[in-house]
Amino acid sequence: MLRDLPLAGVVVVELSDSASAPFSGRILAALGAEVWKIERPAGDSARGWGPSKWKGSGAAYHALNRGKRTICLDIKDRDQLATLHRLIAEHADVFIHNLRPGSSAGYGLDADSLRVTKPELVYCEVGAFGHAGPMNTLPGYDPLMQAFSGIMSITGEEEQAPVRAGVSIVDFGTGMWAVIGILSALYRRQIKHCGATVNSSLLETAIAWMSVGIANFSADGEEGGRHGSGVAFIVPHRAYAAADGHLIVSAANDALFAKLCAAIDHPEWAGDDRFATNAGRLKNRVEIDRLIGERLSTDTRAAWQARLQAAGIPVAPIQTTAEVVGHEQTRALGIIETPPDDEIGLVGLPLSFDGKRPPPLHAAREIGADNDQLERLLKVPQ
């Protein structure tokens, strides 16, 4: 099966730590690339993350690093740095790193230096604040970028403290953008036989996630504000409390709103001048949300889900992690996989090719587990 994957034969060297760049390597490995992950002697920071651990490392590390060869090299050591340079020069199609901004040149790991011996190298730098501008040398993490980009200013309840998204949307998004850039560069290399430098950053990703909010601000100068589970530009499009939990109801246009009103036994709301159009509902958000909420509180999530789905209304219960993992739809997709040599369930690639998802890869390895393979590889005459 691996021979059939799109990136079979592509070699990636990943000098990375934490989440964004490792996620890029994780995607490329699932697409069939041979990924050599380089860790410093202390190991990737994610190995120490908690609270959940597996085989001595944070569960997060396993989620982000399965399917890779794992090499331990101290790039501050001249000989070990030379080994890394040989690996890149002799075998790599792609080099990914998220070194501290501005530090790569000191190790000869900047794009210009590496292309002296490897002109067709696809070089990807995953940064924090981006490769240009007055803040480009500053380090950064996901929460900083959710704050700096404005994401947190529109996340949370009105008149309450802003909050970050509960998952690292900026880290993972940056990893995805890096992969999109790498794949584009590999495609161009096939045609023009030239390398490329791909820059991806946390801040640029976070700003990209603000595309609609920035467009709205550009149009009328209005800030989006915080609307809890809702959004600034559609009503109703949020969570409501049922008798036994919450569910999201989305009537994203006037026709769906009329169907919703009929389904919850209040067809007259669709003819009310305050609510008949989305513009009116935006002005009267508090009142229509109150009315819908009162009605939905009278029955269970399951009852409302069945009723609204039958009427063609987009609806979903707010599930716990346990509910998601155990749900028949999740199981049918087969996206939560158990690697053949491990017992921990991890999320697979959210892509299928010809109806088949790329198979589970081997589990994340211990620090330096593949150093002996690297030694054998570099002994082979080129």
CATH of residue 305's domain is 3.30.1540.10
Least confident of 138-152, 170-184, 293-307, 340-354: 340-354
Asked, for residue 219, whether it belongs to a domain, the answer is: no
What pTM was estimated for this model as a whole? 0.90
State pLDDT tens for residues 244-283.
999 999 999 999 999 999 999 999 999 999 999 999 999 9
Does residue 192 sit in the same domain as residue 298? Answer: no
Rounded to whole angstroms, the Cα distance separating 21 from 174 reads: 8
Determine, yes or no, domain membership for 250. yes
Same domain, yes or no, for 15 and 151?
yes
Average pLDDT of 301-327? 95
**Domain of 95, in residue numbers:** 2-209+332-379
Please give the average per-residue pLDDT across 331-355, as a whole number.
87
Please tell me the distance from the alpha carbon of residue 70 to that of residue 13, in angstroms, as a whole number: 10
Q: Are residues 49 and 165 in the same domain?
A: yes
**How many whole angstroms separate alpha carbon 33 and alpha carbon 166?**
30
Question: Number of folded domains in the chain?
Answer: 2
Which pLDDT band, with edges at 50, 70 and 90, does 312 fall under? very high
In this prediction, residue 366 carries a pLDDT of 92
Stretch 126-140: mean pLDDT: 92
Model pLDDT for residues 69-108, shown as the tens digit of each residue = 999 999 999 999 999 999 999 999 999 999 988 899 999 9
Q: Are residues 167 and 287 in the same domain?
A: no
Beta bridge partners of 238: 249
- Residues 178, 281, single domain; the answer is no
pLDDT in tens, 151-199: 999 999 988 999 999 999 999 999 999 999 999 999 999 999 999 999 9
191 and 54 share a domain?
yes
Residues 303 and 345 in one domain: no
CB atoms within 10 A of CB 97: 22
- Provide the CATH number for the domain around residue 160: 3.40.50.10540
Q: Indicate left, alpha or beta for 121 from its phi (over 0: left) and psi (-120 to 50: alpha).
A: beta
Q: Is the pLDDT of residue 3 over 80?
A: no
Q: What's residue 2's pLDDT? A: 45
Of the three residues 290, 318, 346, the one that is the final residue of a domain is: 318
* End residue of a domain, out of 318, 347, 366: 318
Residue 323 domain-assigned (yes or no): no
pLDDT of residue 379: 84
Tell me whether residue 337 is in a domain: yes
User: What does the pLDDT read at residue 225?
Assistant: 87
Task: Indicate if 304 and 336 belong to the same structural domain.
Answer: no
- pLDDT average, residue stretch 340-363: 86
Tokens of 26: 């994780």
Residue-averaged pLDDT of the chain: 93
Q: Is residue 132 part of a domain?
A: yes
Over the stretch 16-39, which tens digit does the pLDDT of each residue have?
A: 999 999 999 999 999 999 999 999
* 367 plus 245 within the same structural domain: no
pLDDT of 362 = 87
Same domain, 124 and 30: yes
75: in domain:
yes
What pLDDT score was predicted for residue 1? Answer: 42
- pLDDT (mean) for 220-235: 88
pLDDT tens string 321-331? 999 999 999 99
Examine the domain organization and report whether 179 and 298 are in the same domain: no
Whether 104 and 155 map to the same domain: the answer is yes
**Predicted pLDDT at 232:** 86
Q: Is residue 324 part of a domain?
A: no
Evaluate whether residue 182 is within a structural domain: yes
Angle at 45 between CA 43 and CA 46, to 5 degrees: 105
Q: What is the pLDDT of residue 381?
A: 59
